[in-house]
A and B are shown apart, each in its own frame.
Chain A
Amino acid sequence: GENVEQHPSTLSVQEGDSAVIKCTYSDSASNYFPWYKQELGKGPQLIIDIRSNVGEKKDQRIAVTLNKTAKHFSLHITETQPEDSAVYFCAAKASGGGSYIPTFGRGTSLIVHP
């Protein structure tokens, strides 16, 4: 089955700095890669996703890049703010072929210091 590795497990940055979270996956059939943000006491919420026919996607201060050859995708947050502090999860999923189960990484706790 799919295996998703996520690094780092904890990331501490100063407000205004950039933050990068990296994930690797094992199943070459995976073609959908969402990122979720989980704030304290809440359920995860989708913040951005990317499909395998795209190498990069941006939404204001966040961007995701995908390298299918290396089976590697990353979340980039620029100009971090204290409200970006949360746990971030990456996930990988193969469409079709009976696979409906996304595999999540173990999460990255991002701390943004004012």
Chain B
Amino acid sequence: QVQLVESGGGVVQPGRSLRLSCAASGFTFTNSAIHWVRQAPGKGLEWVAAVWYDGSNINYSDSVKGRFAISSDNSENTVSLQMNSLRGEDTAVYYCARELLARGSTFDNWGQGTLVTVSS
């Protein structure tokens, strides 16, 4: 079955960096895209970034553009999110979610999420 497993969350000081990973399995990684979506405590969903399986077609939300970098390794079926210059407002559960490109079924499978806490 489709599995997305996030890792790399933790507590980090403001201004520091953290790298999240999303390991995908149970489906053909090629012809898919992976999105990162975050949810601050008690708040709604916020789209962060997305990348195609081959590392192309990258997009970011304005709130992370220039600070975060998304990448895809389709030899490892893994997508990473490098988060730099972290701020308190980046504190959230970070989910990765799949999109099947041919079907256009964005967010059709989700991981369990990894918590990032930015605090001094």
A, B: real partners: no
